[in-house]
Structure 1
Amino acid sequence: MLLSTWFGCGFFKPAPGTSGSLAALPIAWVLTELGGYQALAVATIIITAIGVWASNVHSQELLEEDPPQVVIDEVAGQLLTLLVVPPTFTNYLIGFVLFRIADIVKPWPANWVDQNIKGGLGIMLDDILAATYAGAGLLIALSWL
């Protein structure tokens, strides 16, 4: 439960997903500054893999398909979104907003995954797909700034 709630961030009301995304921002910055994009990419892959397992266990324990306190998916998605830009305040702010919008709206195929793929894989995959939209939107937005 510690990992799936990202060390308790998932218990922050009224927006546990937002708190998980916020918690990812300093992690992304530190990883990118200390180890470059490779470190951020490796961490994103590891957190995603752990997230499939941890969110599956947590959802089975609570007998819920996608418990709101499970936010490791938001952490992985936010990290993936930020993987495409240098670590600046503006980039991270825009990336944060775009990921939250994509995660809430869940454009296709993220909405299909959310409704049809169960367990830890479904919990994680819809956020990874939302992150791809957010990352693409971030690159487009930054090309205009």
Structure 2
Amino acid sequence: MRMTRFITTFAYVGLLRPAPGTWGSAVAVVLAIGIDYLLGFWVLAAATLAITLLGFWACAQALRGRPGEDPAEIVIDEVAGQWLALLFPAAAFWWMGLHDWAWRAYPGWVAAFLFFRLFDIWKPWVIGRADRRQDPAGVMLDDLWAGAFAGVATVIAAGVSHGLLL
């Protein structure tokens, strides 16, 4: 149980107050930038998949027998969703051969963070539907949908900003 709590709170980041979800997302951004910069895009993609799978498992363990609960200290879902959102600009820069994008293109990760928090809090359409599942999978799914929406919004914003989509 102690290991499950360590995982679901993402090394106890989820115990920070106020706004543990925002803290989880902020720590996720810093770690994702470091992974991408030091180890590359494909390691970030693999880490995102691994943290997502680990999150589904850990949430199922932590919330067994507690239907409908989504405790604020569980932030592994924010980490998975935030990393998914960051994969979009990371993939775009990887495709262009820019491996140090986070240092030169800070609006990309800032936009991914802000869009992720917006969609995670607002919960439009399928994000809200996933949140209303009231099960451990729903805890993860709403943040993964928010991450996907944030990633697409980040790429669109970049296209508009750079005049590619005007």
Both structures adopt the same fold (TM-score exceeding 0.5): yes
Write the distance in 1 (CA, Å) between the matches of 2:58 and 2:65: 11
After superposition, residues 1-145 of structure 1 pair within 5 angstroms as 1-60=5-64, 65-85=69-89, 86-87=101-102, 88-116=105-133, 118-119=135-136, 121-145=137-161
C-alpha separation in 2, matches of 1:61 and 1:131:
28
How far 1:60 sits from its partner (Å)? 2.9
Normalising by structure 1, report the TM-score. Answer: 0.92
Structure 2 unaligned residues grouped into runs of 5+ = 90-100, 162-166
Unaligned stretches of 5+ residues in structure 1: none
Could you list the per-position Cα deviations for residues 58-102 of structure 1 after superposition, in whole angstroms to 9, with x for gaps in the alignment? 223767621110000000110110111142322111111100001
The alpha carbon displacement at 1:33 in A equals 1.3
Deviation of residue 35 (structure 1)? 2.4
TM-score normalized by structure 2?
A: 0.81
Query: After superposition, what is the alpha-carbon deviation per residue over 1:94-122, rounded to whole angstroms, capped at 9, x for unaligned?
Result: 11110000101111111111112512x21
4+ runs deviating over 4 angstroms: 61-64
Question: 1: distance between equivalents of 2:157 and 2:57?
Answer: 34
Counterpart of 2:22 in 1: which secondary structure? helix
Aligned counterparts of 1:75 and 1:97: Cα–Cα separation in 2: 14
Identity %: 38
Aligned-partner Cα distance in 2 for 1:109–1:102: 11
Work out the CA distance in 2 between the residues paired with 1:132 and 1:90: 18
Which whole-Å CA distance do the structure 1 matches of 2:23 and 2:64 have between them?
Answer: 23
CA positional deviation for 1:123: 0.9
Counterpart-to-counterpart distance in 1, 2:109 and 2:120: 16
Tell me the number of residue pairs that the alignment of Structure 1 and Structure 2 aligns: 144
Q: What amino acid is the match of 1:4?
A: T
Q: CA RMSD in A?
A: 1.6
Letter in 2 for 1:65: E
